[in-house]
Amino acid sequence: MLVVAEDFFKHVDAGNTTNKLGSKVTPVSVNELFGLNTLGISLARIDFAPRGLNPPHIHPRGTEIVIVIEGTLHVGFVTSNQNNGQNRLFTKVLNKGDVFVFPIGLPHFQLNVGYGNAVAIAALSSQNAGVITIANAVFGSTPPISDEILAKAFQIDKNTIDYLQNQFWYDNN
């Protein structure tokens, strides 16, 4: 089959942020744009309503670099366990034109702290970096993780775990 220019092309519209989280990620990975195959990179547009949150998540196979196109974002990531047993949090408030890096595999988040909408473009160092929304993966998996495990891991009683596991976990990707 002959390759054509359209194989390297994809249009991206603003995402619909009318949801629990007030944010929407529109990915352009190899799943959406086949010309990315073997090329080790992908892109996403992220839209935020006011106070909209892209909740703590992990890309298991890619570093993310983000640039703010519109609005103001509070962003951060947490390091892996340090020698002193801590996980350090790095945060920054980003405005239009600001660029920030979230290293591969580390939990990170973005919150719209401006008055209006916000838009960011993110690039990822994989054709298909994957997304694990942490709360969804831990409390909303199918089937659920044993509540003994979650109660001990999160230092919280089983009733609260059961309550959490019964929530609806929206995936904004």
Annotated binding-site ranges: 54, 57, 59, 64, 108
Per CB under 8 A, 58 contacts its own copies: yes
Are the C-beta atoms of residues 18 and 47 closer than 8 Å to each other? Answer: no
Per CB under 8 A, 117 contacts its own copies: no
Per CB under 8 A, 171 contacts its own copies: yes
Per CB under 8 A, 53 contacts its own copies: yes
Neighbouring C-alpha atoms within 13 Å toward the C-beta of 60: 6
Per CB under 8 A, 159 contacts its own copies: no
> Binding string to its own copies for residues 62 to 101, with x set by CB under 8 A, is what?
xxxx-x-x----x-xxxxxx---xxxxxxxx-x--xxxxx
Total residues binding its own copies (CB under 8 A) = 101
| Binding-site annotation, residues for Mn(2+) | 57, 59, 64, 108
Are the C-beta atoms of residues 16 and 24 closer than 8 Å to each other? Answer: yes
Q: Which residues of 74-89 are buried (b: 16+ CB within 10 A; e: fewer)?
A: ebbbbeeeeeeeeeee
Per CB under 8 A, 152 contacts its own copies: yes
Residues in the chain, how many? 173
